[in-house]
Amino acid sequence: MSKGILFVMSGPSGTGKGTICSRLLDNKENDVFLSVSSTTRERRKDEIDGVTYNYTTTEHFKEMIDNGEMLEYAVYNGNYYGTPKHAVETTLDTGRSVLLEIEPQGALKVKKIFPEATLIFILPPSMAELKARLEERGRETPEQIAERLDAAKWEMEQSRLYDCVFVNDDLDDCVKEVEKFMRDKMEKKRLVEELLNEKY
Ligand code: 5GP
Protein backbone atom coordinates (compact mmCIF):
# COMPACT_ATOMS: atom_id res chain seq x y z
CA MET A 1 0.00 0.00 0.00
CA SER A 2 1.29 3.49 -0.80
CA LYS A 3 1.79 6.03 1.93
CA GLY A 4 -0.65 8.81 2.82
CA ILE A 5 0.13 12.48 2.24
CA LEU A 6 1.75 14.48 5.02
CA PHE A 7 0.16 17.96 5.19
CA VAL A 8 1.77 20.56 7.44
CA MET A 9 -0.13 23.72 8.33
CA SER A 10 1.44 26.82 9.86
CA GLY A 11 0.46 30.42 10.41
CA PRO A 12 0.88 33.06 13.09
CA SER A 13 -0.92 32.61 16.39
CA GLY A 14 -4.42 34.09 16.04
CA THR A 15 -4.61 33.52 12.30
CA GLY A 16 -7.30 30.88 12.75
CA LYS A 17 -5.37 27.76 11.73
CA GLY A 18 -6.62 25.80 14.74
CA THR A 19 -10.23 26.49 13.75
CA ILE A 20 -9.46 25.66 10.11
CA CYS A 21 -7.94 22.32 11.17
CA SER A 22 -10.96 21.46 13.36
CA ARG A 23 -13.34 22.31 10.53
CA LEU A 24 -11.35 20.11 8.13
CA LEU A 25 -11.52 17.22 10.60
CA ASP A 26 -15.22 17.73 11.38
CA ASN A 27 -15.95 16.96 7.75
CA LYS A 28 -15.70 13.16 7.74
CA GLU A 29 -15.30 13.15 3.96
CA ASN A 30 -11.78 14.49 4.53
CA ASP A 31 -10.02 11.30 5.53
CA VAL A 32 -7.22 13.02 7.43
CA PHE A 33 -5.69 12.21 10.81
CA LEU A 34 -4.61 15.14 13.01
CA SER A 35 -1.40 14.47 14.89
CA VAL A 36 -1.57 15.41 18.60
CA SER A 37 1.60 17.24 19.60
CA SER A 38 3.33 17.18 22.97
CA THR A 39 4.00 20.44 24.78
CA THR A 40 5.42 21.78 28.00
CA ARG A 41 3.10 24.81 27.93
CA GLU A 42 0.37 24.96 30.56
CA ARG A 43 -3.02 23.58 29.61
CA ARG A 44 -5.66 26.27 29.01
CA LYS A 45 -9.13 25.89 30.54
CA ASP A 46 -10.84 24.90 27.28
CA GLU A 47 -8.15 22.36 26.30
CA ILE A 48 -8.20 18.58 26.84
CA ASP A 49 -5.09 16.56 27.71
CA GLY A 50 -4.49 13.94 25.04
CA VAL A 51 -6.79 15.71 22.56
CA THR A 52 -5.54 19.29 22.18
CA TYR A 53 -2.01 18.38 23.22
CA ASN A 54 -0.22 15.83 25.34
CA TYR A 55 0.91 18.07 28.21
CA THR A 56 4.18 17.10 29.80
CA THR A 57 7.15 18.36 31.81
CA THR A 58 10.34 19.77 30.31
CA GLU A 59 12.23 16.82 31.80
CA HIS A 60 9.98 14.25 30.10
CA PHE A 61 10.00 16.23 26.84
CA LYS A 62 13.82 16.18 26.81
CA GLU A 63 13.76 12.44 27.49
CA MET A 64 11.49 11.94 24.46
CA ILE A 65 13.94 13.94 22.32
CA ASP A 66 16.88 11.87 23.59
CA ASN A 67 14.98 8.64 22.89
CA GLY A 68 14.39 9.72 19.28
CA GLU A 69 10.60 9.80 19.79
CA MET A 70 10.12 13.24 18.18
CA LEU A 71 9.78 13.73 14.45
CA GLU A 72 10.52 17.40 15.09
CA TYR A 73 10.31 19.86 17.95
CA ALA A 74 10.74 23.59 18.53
CA VAL A 75 10.79 26.07 21.37
CA TYR A 76 8.05 28.66 20.94
CA ASN A 77 7.76 31.50 23.48
CA GLY A 78 9.75 29.52 26.04
CA ASN A 79 7.81 26.24 25.75
CA TYR A 80 8.66 23.02 23.93
CA TYR A 81 6.29 21.73 21.26
CA GLY A 82 6.91 18.53 19.30
CA THR A 83 5.40 15.98 16.96
CA PRO A 84 5.52 12.34 18.09
CA LYS A 85 7.16 10.29 15.35
CA HIS A 86 5.45 6.92 15.84
CA ALA A 87 1.80 7.99 15.33
CA VAL A 88 2.65 10.00 12.20
CA GLU A 89 4.72 7.27 10.56
CA THR A 90 2.32 4.41 11.33
CA THR A 91 -0.68 6.40 10.07
CA LEU A 92 1.09 7.36 6.83
CA ASP A 93 2.04 3.69 6.37
CA THR A 94 -1.65 2.71 6.44
CA GLY A 95 -2.21 5.02 3.43
CA ARG A 96 -4.08 7.64 5.44
CA SER A 97 -3.09 11.31 5.18
CA VAL A 98 -1.84 13.17 8.24
CA LEU A 99 -2.17 16.84 9.17
CA LEU A 100 0.33 18.58 11.45
CA GLU A 101 -0.51 22.02 12.83
CA ILE A 102 2.92 23.31 13.79
CA GLU A 103 5.06 26.45 13.63
CA PRO A 104 7.57 27.03 10.78
CA GLN A 105 10.82 25.89 12.47
CA GLY A 106 9.21 22.47 12.89
CA ALA A 107 7.50 22.55 9.50
CA LEU A 108 10.78 23.18 7.71
CA LYS A 109 12.46 20.34 9.65
CA VAL A 110 9.62 18.03 8.56
CA LYS A 111 10.15 19.11 4.93
CA LYS A 112 13.81 18.03 5.20
CA ILE A 113 12.84 14.60 6.57
CA PHE A 114 9.82 14.18 4.23
CA PRO A 115 10.59 16.25 1.08
CA GLU A 116 7.24 15.10 -0.35
CA ALA A 117 5.31 16.74 2.55
CA THR A 118 2.92 19.52 1.51
CA LEU A 119 3.37 22.75 3.46
CA ILE A 120 0.34 25.05 3.80
CA PHE A 121 0.65 28.55 5.27
CA ILE A 122 -2.30 30.59 6.58
CA LEU A 123 -1.89 34.38 6.58
CA PRO A 124 -4.07 36.89 8.43
CA PRO A 125 -5.61 39.64 6.27
CA SER A 126 -3.59 42.31 8.16
CA MET A 127 -1.44 42.75 11.27
CA ALA A 128 -4.16 44.95 12.81
CA GLU A 129 -6.68 42.12 12.35
CA LEU A 130 -4.23 39.57 13.81
CA LYS A 131 -3.75 41.76 16.91
CA ALA A 132 -7.51 42.25 17.23
CA ARG A 133 -8.13 38.47 17.01
CA LEU A 134 -5.51 37.72 19.67
CA GLU A 135 -6.99 40.37 21.99
CA GLU A 136 -10.52 39.21 21.34
CA ARG A 137 -9.89 35.56 22.22
CA GLY A 138 -8.42 36.77 25.52
CA ARG A 139 -6.21 33.73 26.14
CA GLU A 140 -2.91 35.55 26.55
CA THR A 141 -1.65 38.47 28.64
CA PRO A 142 -0.78 41.72 26.77
CA GLU A 143 2.93 40.75 27.10
CA GLN A 144 2.29 37.32 25.58
CA ILE A 145 0.27 38.91 22.77
CA ALA A 146 3.21 41.23 22.03
CA GLU A 147 5.56 38.19 21.93
CA ARG A 148 3.20 36.35 19.57
CA LEU A 149 2.97 39.38 17.26
CA ASP A 150 6.77 39.62 17.17
CA ALA A 151 7.02 35.90 16.38
CA ALA A 152 4.38 36.38 13.63
CA LYS A 153 6.74 38.56 11.58
CA TRP A 154 9.45 35.90 11.35
CA GLU A 155 6.82 33.21 10.76
CA MET A 156 5.22 35.11 7.88
CA GLU A 157 8.62 35.57 6.22
CA GLN A 158 8.91 31.76 6.12
CA SER A 159 5.68 31.50 4.11
CA ARG A 160 7.73 31.88 0.91
CA LEU A 161 9.19 28.42 1.60
CA TYR A 162 5.72 26.82 1.74
CA ASP A 163 3.97 25.01 -1.09
CA CYS A 164 0.89 27.21 -0.88
CA VAL A 165 -0.41 30.21 1.03
CA PHE A 166 -4.01 31.07 1.92
CA VAL A 167 -5.39 34.26 3.50
CA ASN A 168 -7.91 33.74 6.27
CA ASP A 169 -10.06 36.78 5.66
CA ASP A 170 -13.40 34.95 5.67
CA LEU A 171 -13.22 31.66 7.65
CA ASP A 172 -15.78 29.73 5.56
CA ASP A 173 -14.07 30.68 2.29
CA CYS A 174 -10.64 29.86 3.63
CA VAL A 175 -11.75 26.42 4.88
CA LYS A 176 -13.28 25.68 1.46
CA GLU A 177 -10.11 26.71 -0.38
CA VAL A 178 -7.80 24.66 1.87
CA GLU A 179 -10.18 21.69 1.70
CA LYS A 180 -10.25 21.84 -2.08
CA PHE A 181 -6.47 22.07 -2.27
CA MET A 182 -6.00 19.03 0.00
CA ARG A 183 -8.64 16.95 -1.76
CA ASP A 184 -7.16 17.74 -5.19
CA LYS A 185 -3.77 16.67 -3.92
CA MET A 186 -5.17 13.36 -2.58
CA GLU A 187 -7.18 12.78 -5.74
CA LYS A 188 -4.15 13.34 -8.00
CA LYS A 189 -2.07 10.97 -5.90
CA ARG A 190 -4.81 8.33 -6.19
CA LEU A 191 -4.96 8.84 -9.97
CA VAL A 192 -1.19 8.50 -10.39
CA GLU A 193 -1.26 5.27 -8.37
CA GLU A 194 -4.08 3.92 -10.51
CA LEU A 195 -2.16 4.77 -13.70
CA LEU A 196 0.99 3.14 -12.39
CA ASN A 197 -0.90 -0.06 -11.56
CA GLU A 198 -2.73 -0.16 -14.88
CA LYS A 199 -1.90 -3.02 -17.24
CA TYR A 200 -1.25 -2.02 -20.86
P1 5GP B 1 -0.28 27.38 21.06
O2 5GP B 1 0.48 27.65 22.32
O3 5GP B 1 -1.01 28.61 20.57
O4 5GP B 1 -1.17 26.19 21.15
O5 5GP B 1 0.80 27.02 19.93
C6 5GP B 1 1.89 27.86 19.69
C7 5GP B 1 2.55 27.48 18.37
O8 5GP B 1 3.12 26.19 18.45
C9 5GP B 1 1.56 27.43 17.20
O10 5GP B 1 2.14 28.10 16.09
C11 5GP B 1 1.42 25.95 16.91
O12 5GP B 1 1.14 25.69 15.55
C13 5GP B 1 2.82 25.47 17.28
N14 5GP B 1 2.87 24.02 17.53
C15 5GP B 1 1.92 23.22 18.05
N16 5GP B 1 2.34 21.96 18.10
C17 5GP B 1 3.59 21.94 17.59
C18 5GP B 1 4.55 20.90 17.33
O19 5GP B 1 4.36 19.73 17.59
N20 5GP B 1 5.73 21.29 16.79
C21 5GP B 1 6.02 22.58 16.47
N22 5GP B 1 7.19 22.84 15.91
N23 5GP B 1 5.13 23.57 16.68
C24 5GP B 1 3.94 23.26 17.22
What domains does the chain contain, in order, with CATH numbers? 6-35+96-197 (3.40.50.300)
Per-residue pLDDT, 29: 86
Evaluate: CB of 74 within 6 angstroms of ligand 1. Answer: yes
Amino acid type, 45: K
Could you report the per-residue pLDDT of 87-124, keeping only the tens digit for each?
Answer: 999 999 999 999 999 999 999 999 999 999 999 999 99
Could you report the per-residue pLDDT of 28-52, keeping only the tens digit for each?
Answer: 888 899 999 999 999 998 899 999 9
| For residues 47-66, average pLDDT | 97
Could you report the per-residue pLDDT of 139-188, keeping only the tens digit for each?
Answer: 889 999 999 999 999 999 999 999 999 999 999 999 999 999 999 999 99
Q: Helices 171-197 and 17-26: crossing angle, nearest 10°? A: 50
Evaluate: CB of 102 within 6 angstroms of ligand 1. Answer: yes
Per-residue pLDDT, 12: 96
Mean pLDDT of the chain: 95
Per-residue pLDDT, 28: 83
- Given a cut of 80, is residue 1 above it in pLDDT? no
| For residues 123-145, average pLDDT | 93
The Cα–Cα gap between 17 and 10 comes to 7
Per-residue pLDDT, 173: 98
Evaluate: CB of 76 within 6 angstroms of ligand 1. Answer: yes
Evaluate: CB of 13 within 6 angstroms of ligand 1. Answer: yes
Evaluate: CB of 83 within 6 angstroms of ligand 1. Answer: yes
Per-residue pLDDT, 2: 83
Per-residue pLDDT, 127: 95
Closest approach atom of ligand 1 to CA 107: 22
Give the distance (Å) from ligand 1 centre to CA of residue 78. 12
Q: What is the pTM of this model?
A: 0.94
Amino acid type, 149: L
| For residues 80-90, average pLDDT | 96
Rg (the chain; Cα; Å): 17
Nearest residue CA, atom 18 of ligand 1? 82
Q: What is the dihedral of CA 135, 166, 23, 105, to 10 degrees?
A: -70
Give the distance (Å) from ligand 1 centre to CA of residue 140. 15
The Cα–Cα gap between 139 and 45 comes to 9
